[in-house]
Amino acid sequence: MNHIVTVTVDNSPMDMYVARPENATAPAPAMLVFQEAFGVNAHIRDVADRFAKLGFTAIAPELFHRTGRGVEGSYTDFAALAPHFGALTREGLEADVDATHAWLKSDAAIDAARVSAIGFCMGGRVAYLANARLPLTAAVSFYGGGIAPDLLPLAAKQHAPILMFWGGRDAHILPEQYRAVADALAKAEKVHEQVVFGQADHGFFCDARASYNGQAAPQAWALTQAFLQAYGAY
């Protein structure tokens, strides 16, 4: 069961795609699903639906809401999304994370004590940011750009164990960057796992992208489920 919920953030309506588990008899754990730069599109909705099948209530907020509503873009035309992507600020994203969390806490069908986050590309950065703000149970970040160097100081503030995926052939996130993230988390003595798929490119998990990797993606999904189960996310 899925539907759209709208909340107001900074005087702007923010739509959230919500996928709920079927036939739930108790409050469900929550999964915050943070979008790529291409919007809460079919791929992100599919990820949310996958989590609903695992028993989560999955919530995917539209992070471009300040510059447009229902923004979705083509994987072959990033330039068209540049005005939306360029308008994002850390403060705005933090407000969006807080508003999403506040909404789920108000929903009696959600177990607010078990909230996790996953994100892809820019959403991978947001999942890391959310883990520094919210009392999450677990967090998963796929090829999160801009964590190093911008957000390295937040390594010490990570609340929950975090699983991070990187592509060895990703020209957008270089090895020195993802190694810096791992080093910062290790120095802060945070529970973290770092997985590098040597033959994978940026966006390898998305089967709608040319960079989809049919070997890495299913492995990453299996590791994600095992990680979430290991730390009590569901």
Give me the active site residues, please. 121, 170, 202
Structure tokens at 68: 């447009």
Residue from 38, 58, 209 nearest 122 by CA: 38
* Paired residues of 58 in beta bridges: 19, 31
Cβ within 8 Å of residue 136, ≥6 positions away: 115, 116, 117, 130, 159, 160
d(CA 233, CA 28): 10
Residue whose entry in the numeric block shows the structure tokens 């409050």: 27
